[in-house]
Structures are given as C-alpha cells and as structure tokens.
Structure 1
Amino acid sequence: MSKKNKLLKLGRLVSGDGIGVIAFSSPIESSRLERGLSALRERGFAVKVALQPSAEYGKTTYLFGSDSVSARAKAFGEMLEDPEVKVILAARGAYGSLELLPYLDFSALTANPKAIVGFSDVTCILLAAYERAGVTVIHGPSLDSCVAKIGVSKEAARSFSALLELLEGREINPFRGMTFNRLCGSERGEGPLIGGNLSLLSSLMGTPWEPNFDGHILFWEEVAEKPYRLDRMLVQMKLAGKFDHLQGVVVGYLSRCEHAQGLGPSAVDVIKNVFKDFDFPVLSGVPFGHELLNLPLPIGIHASIAGNSFELVESPVAL
C-alpha cells in the first residue's frame, strides 16, 4: 500500500452480524463445513455461504479450485457489496487462489471496509486487498483449520476467541505476555505488518500483485517445505531487494519443514544465514500458521519487536 494513503480500518464486529464463508481455494469436506457453520451460528452470527464449498471435494473439475474462476470471483465481489456481511471468512486454504487475482475488483472494499480473514493459500487475496483497497485484512484461522475444531481443541478455541476479541475491539494484542526466540539482528523494530505463507509470497514476486515490503515488519510461516526450499524462496526475495528496507521479521510455525532423517541444515540455520547481514530484528516461534493455535495478525497494523517480545500496538478496528 502506498505510504501516501491512510490505512482504512474495520467496523467493530457485534453479535448478530453477518459472516460470509467462501472457498477462495480448494473445496472443504462437507462435515467440517457444517461443523464450522454451526459453530458460527451458535455464537450468534448470521451466516452466508458462497456457492457450494463442498460440492467439488475430492474432484478435479476445476483442478484445485472449489468452483470456476469466474464463479469464485463473482461470489467474492457479491460478498464485498453485501451490506449484511461484516466479515468474509475463508472456508479453507490449499490451492487455487492465485488464479483469481486478475478478476478481483476491490473498489467495494475501499468504499465499505470489512474484514477478510484467512491464511495459507489465501495469503495472495489478503495482500491484494491490502495493496489495492488500502484496508487492513486479517491473517488468521479459516473455517476448516480452526472454527470446525473449536469443540475438540483448546488451541483452536483460543485462536477463534482471539480473532473475535480483535474484531470486536476488545483486545489489541493477542501476543500479550509471550516471549519468542530472537535469532539475529538488532533489539528493536516497529512498523506495519505484512506477510503470510512464504510459498505464496514467493509466488507473487515479479507479478503485478507483488507486495511492497518497505517499512514493514514481515511475518511468514510455512508447511511441508524442506529447508533447502525455504532457502531458495528466501534468497530469491533477498536478491530481489525485498528485505532491504524492512523493520523486522517474525517467523511463525515451520510445520513439517525438516529434512528426512534430520539431515542437512535446519530451517532455523537457513533463516539465520539469510538474515545475518541485516540490522533489523528477527524472531521465530510466534504462534501463527499451520497449527491449531493460529493467532491473528492484521496486515497494515503497527507492531513492535523489543528483545524477545512481539506485540501489536494498535487495533484493526476503528475504535
């Protein structure tokens, strides 16, 4: 987002508001969809579902997508324009969001800011909305990864509660009282947040949707990528100058990102080597990404790093 433009914040979420669920990417298994929708309704929200998020589960009609590109793009546009929908929640991640980017119009989001929430493959939707509409968006749990599991997982329940507290304006900093691993760099950094899944960040490089990292704290996480692949993606962005003007780096879960039999450099070794010559602070072990405890990170909102602490310093809600 251009530094000349003021970030648009969100309206406060209240009980009875509408939450729209859309499968930007892959379809969701039907029983998980129903459990997630029931959990939203039990908490007093009106729920609207775009298209049929489970109809193509296990099929390849649209390759990896839940529906055609045109249908998903149209459904998203309708949710942006729907005054009853206050939050748009991703049903699932996986694959397929990238192909939507040329067909998305974010003008309705600028005119009427509302929260878009998701992670993983939905990273590209979040960053496009932030860059093109100038609205804060939420890197946070999806219906499938979290909401459908809150009845059986304390971590999932905590993640969903943290998301609601953030959107309702009851809590600014979900990371209050936590400490993390300081890997390298300076002691302090402050700036607006930007980031998401590393593979998606890498995939956006060289496209019209390449995000501007300058002046930001970059957060990223990854799942099922070996350390040599992490190294390749990070070095690509380093060579492209994407890290030259950062204020800090915050690393979330590196789920299943190990070499077979523990051979070779670790993911942490890779991170230390890539960022060793920069002055900004680099933290790891922050609870977001592909695990049940997936705390929300509002893109565009200011955060700070001090020693081994990381915290959000403003609300994404226009209080």
Structure 2
Amino acid sequence: MFEAIKHSHVEVNGVRLHLAEQGEGPLVLLLHGFPESWYSWRHQFAPLAEAGYRVVAPDQRGYARSAQPEAVDAYTLLHLVGDVTALIGALGAERAVVVGHDWGAPVAWATAALRPDLVRGVAGLSVPPLPVGGPPPLTAARENFGEGFYQIYFQEPGRADAELAADVRTSLRRILCGIQPDGKPRAWIVPEGKKLLDTVPEPERLPDWLTEADLDVFEADYATHGERAFTGGLNWYRNLDRNAELLAAFAGVTVDVPALYVAGERDLVNAMVPPEALAYLLGRLPQLRGHVRLPDTGHWTQQERPAEVTEALLDFIAGLDK
C-alpha cells in the first residue's frame, strides 16, 4: 500500500528533515502533530497524488527520523515556520498548500499568516487558528485548568521525556487510544502525585483506525532518538510563552489566504476552545472556505476519518483556482 511513498532527507535551516513523498504536481505539505510523524498522513498520500498533487509529509524538527536540535529554544514557532518556508523552496516550489493537524495546525496557520506569498491555501485539523501573539498562554492555561494541565506538566525538562521514552510503544498506544477513552471531550489533566501515563488507560483493544502494524511504524520512527524519543516534540510545548513574546509584533494578524478548518465533534480540543472562542478564532480567517465537523470523531482526525478528511482536502484544494 505504501510502496509508492518515497523517503528522503533534506537540510533546512541547519536541521536535517526526513520527508515522505508521493506524486507530481502542485505541492501539498502535510504537517503532523504530537506524538505523531509523517505516518499519521498514510491514508492521504495516494488519493492526493492520484488527484495530481505532489504530497510531501515531513517529520518536523525534533520528531521521528528528523534531526533533534539540543537547545529547548530551537523549537519556537518562528523556527517551525522557518522550516516550512525553507522546505517549500528546497522542494523547488514557489507556493504550496499547507495542511496541519494538532501541533502541525498552528505551524500551518502561522506560516499562512506570516508568509501568505508562499501559501496557496491552508487547512487546519483539530486546532483552530490561535493568535500568534498576545499574552503568555501558559498563564491562561494555569488559570483555566490548573497545574495538572498537560501543557504545564510538559514544561519541566526531562520529566515527561523519561516517562514516555521508558516504553515507546506503550506510550504511543496509550496516548493515541487513551486520552479520550469514552469519546467525551475533556482537557487532559494529570492529578497531583500522578504520572502522565497514569491518566491514559491501557486500551482493551485497538480502535479500528489503528493497527499493530501502524504502531510498528510509529515505534520504529520514535525509537530513533532513544531516551530522547519524545524530547523534540515536548520542546515545542516548552516554547509556548516564548512564542507569544517573539511574535508580539504580529498580535491580531489575520490569515489572509483561502482556509479550511476540520475538527471532530468529540475532539478534546473542544473542551479547551468553547464555541464562542472558536467563532472568534475562525473570524481570523477572512477567506474561510469551509468548516467541517466530523461526528463520532476524536482528536486523531485524519487517522480516524481518512475518507472524510481526504474528501474535504480534495474539494478545498480543487477550489483554490476557481
């Protein structure tokens, strides 16, 4: 099924990134989230390529088969946007459609906001277009969810890193299957005295969208970095307040390219972004072409509902030149 996907590496901004690629034509970049990799887009490669697009999904900096800079502050949103903009050029393209899920969505939204000259259209899955500047987000997170909120828990260097790297496969399986065991949106909270994985139960069985073979791929990619298997991705969270400081000059900027937002009705992000806040955030998209809500769908959007996500992306991209 995945034989047509080509793998390569490219160096951008001094960081060696692993790329998975299929097809020829206008460039479509697919940006994964945490804790995922290029493989989270496995169902989108062939349909997009068959429709006439060059589909490229990188392992973003710090993840899976890509290089992992040592310094925590090498993972700011400006670094991540810089990787995307440099990657577009390295692939020989003038512009791209940029699609992101989970953490990949803020990177996609920010790339479109800061470099609209390079972005034909932008799609975000799960995470809406959060402001790129403004007050420190961790302050609001503490006020709204307390010290046990997972983004706060991630801030201490080494703690979550060691817990997750102790058994990579178990960590991936339990997070992918267990952050919403009953399908109800709720913020991810780690009670005092508990460890991160104490909050995500071992699944009785894998969901129909995730197989042992899928876990084999994720596990092998993450094992590349040994005891730092998850450190690169966790460092993205450790720059949340730094991002707000660095991007203060861009507070209030809108995303002025054609846009699509796709989210599951059971996504845990819904517990953090209530309807009134979502309406405000989507107001930052003056060219919003579609807002797709997927029923019975949690956080892992393109893996849980591959056909529906692919259809939405194909319709959106096809309409960009109309």
Looking at secondary structure, tell me which structure has more helix per residue: 2
Normalising by structure 1, we get a TM-score of 0.33
Normalising by structure 2, we get a TM-score of 0.33
Looking at secondary structure, tell me which structure has more strand per residue: 1
